[in-house]
Amino acid sequence: MPDPDRVPLQALRRALSFGRGRAQRLARAATRPATGVGDLEPAGDLLSESFLRRLERLNLMTRGQVIQGLVGEHRSRRHASSTEFADFRKYVPGDDFRRIDWNAFARLDGLFLKETEANEDITVHLLFDCSQSMNWGRPNKLSFARHLTAALGFLALARYDAVTAVGFADTLYDRFPVVRGRGQIGRLLSYLDQAPVGGVTRLQNAMDQYCRGSVSGGIAFLISDLLSEDDWEAGVMRLLREGLDVVVIQVLAPEEAHPRLEGDLELVDAESGDIVEIVVGDQARATYEQRVQNWCARTAAFCQRSEIGHLILETDVPLEEVFLNRMRLRRIVR
């Protein structure tokens, strides 16, 4: 009996307008004038059929406690009582002695608890930065963020998890409601495509605003360049305080990390309009790149300290690489 919520891939592909290859689009994007601003592609455009098949086989991993909800197909990092074996661990006072593996006690003469994996229902919160600084780069950071959000959404909906999404800059934009099931992927993509662009990033303010709404726990993916006017770390901490399992995905355009600027320049801040007059040469570029590295290192250190998942992605990294390698390495997916 086929699940009515499971949309055949062919139909999904049609719904998502999968008509063009990524290489072709990337090549086209490379020939555009190098303004670096405003080269957005529809969110579903880069999700190939084979990639979606692979995404279907992935599970999101959570770090924290799942509070409530329906039992979903999501694989949690929290070991729970179920039939699927996960690991053994030594008994400590306070454990439920009913979970002691007596067979192991007979063979090994020690108290061990047999841990099983919990198939849990979680809510996936997709928080993506739509500010003006994201609408820059080649490939465009916002496009990349929308593709990433779409892929994460598909991954979660395919596992019958609840998914919600919202774009933000200094405040939240219209929120995509909590939905469940693969049939909702089209709505999600449409939402992503129509999400507004522009504004100044105030991540703390936006996260405060988000958390004031009904946040029911789960895992929150914060996709942003973290170029926030206010304290973005405070914003992340606010999410943590709401019991969310947070993964920060820091998006960088390749030209942001390794700029090709040279000569007498008037650098204009895309969001604030601030201007810096500068003569860019090899030395200035090297200094800048060092600053970027330091900034990324500080971000990573903060996330490590806060036990937050963290990933730095340059926008020219293929989504397959992101999901199949980098997220697996960071145990964000499995």
Residues that bind other proteins in the complex, under the rule CB under 8 A:
35-37, 132-134, 136-137, 141, 225, 227, 253, 256, 259-272, 274-279, 283-284, 287-288, 291-292, 295
CB of 205 to other proteins, least distance (A): 17
91 vs 295, beta carbon nearer other proteins: 295
CB of 130 to other proteins, least distance (A): 13
158 vs 206, beta carbon nearer other proteins: 206
100 vs 317, beta carbon nearer other proteins: 317
59 vs 228, beta carbon nearer other proteins: 228
CB of 159 to other proteins, least distance (A): 34
Using alpha carbons, select from 64, 63, 65, 60 the residue that is nearest to residue 75: 60
Using alpha carbons, select from 107, 328, 128 the residue that is nearest to residue 221: 128
229 vs 320, beta carbon nearer other proteins: 229
CB of 13 to other proteins, least distance (A): 33
**Whether the Cβ atoms of residue 219 and residue 239 lie closer than 8 Å to each other:** no
CB of 262 to other proteins, least distance (A): 8
- At 72, is the secondary structure helix, strand, or coil? coil
CB of 151 to other proteins, least distance (A): 23
Say which residue the tokens 């070991």 belong to: 79
CA distance 237 to 194: 29
- At 52, is the secondary structure helix, strand, or coil? helix
33 vs 94, beta carbon nearer other proteins: 33
**Whether the Cβ atoms of residue 167 and residue 176 lie closer than 8 Å to each other:** no
Q: What is the greatest pairwise CA distance in the chain? A: 78
CB of 278 to other proteins, least distance (A): 6
30 vs 329, beta carbon nearer other proteins: 30
C-beta contacts of 312-315 below 8 A and 24+ residues apart: 312/250, 312/252, 313/144, 313/148, 313/249, 313/250, 313/251, 313/252, 314/252, 314/253, 314/254, 314/257, 315/137, 315/138, 315/139, 315/140, 315/141, 315/143, 315/144, 315/251, 315/252, 315/253, 315/254
Phi-psi region of 21 (alpha: psi -120 to 50; beta: other; left: phi over 0): beta
CB of 302 to other proteins, least distance (A): 17
67 vs 268, beta carbon nearer other proteins: 268
**Whether the Cβ atoms of residue 90 and residue 113 lie closer than 8 Å to each other:** yes
β-pairing verdict for 162-168 and 123-129: parallel
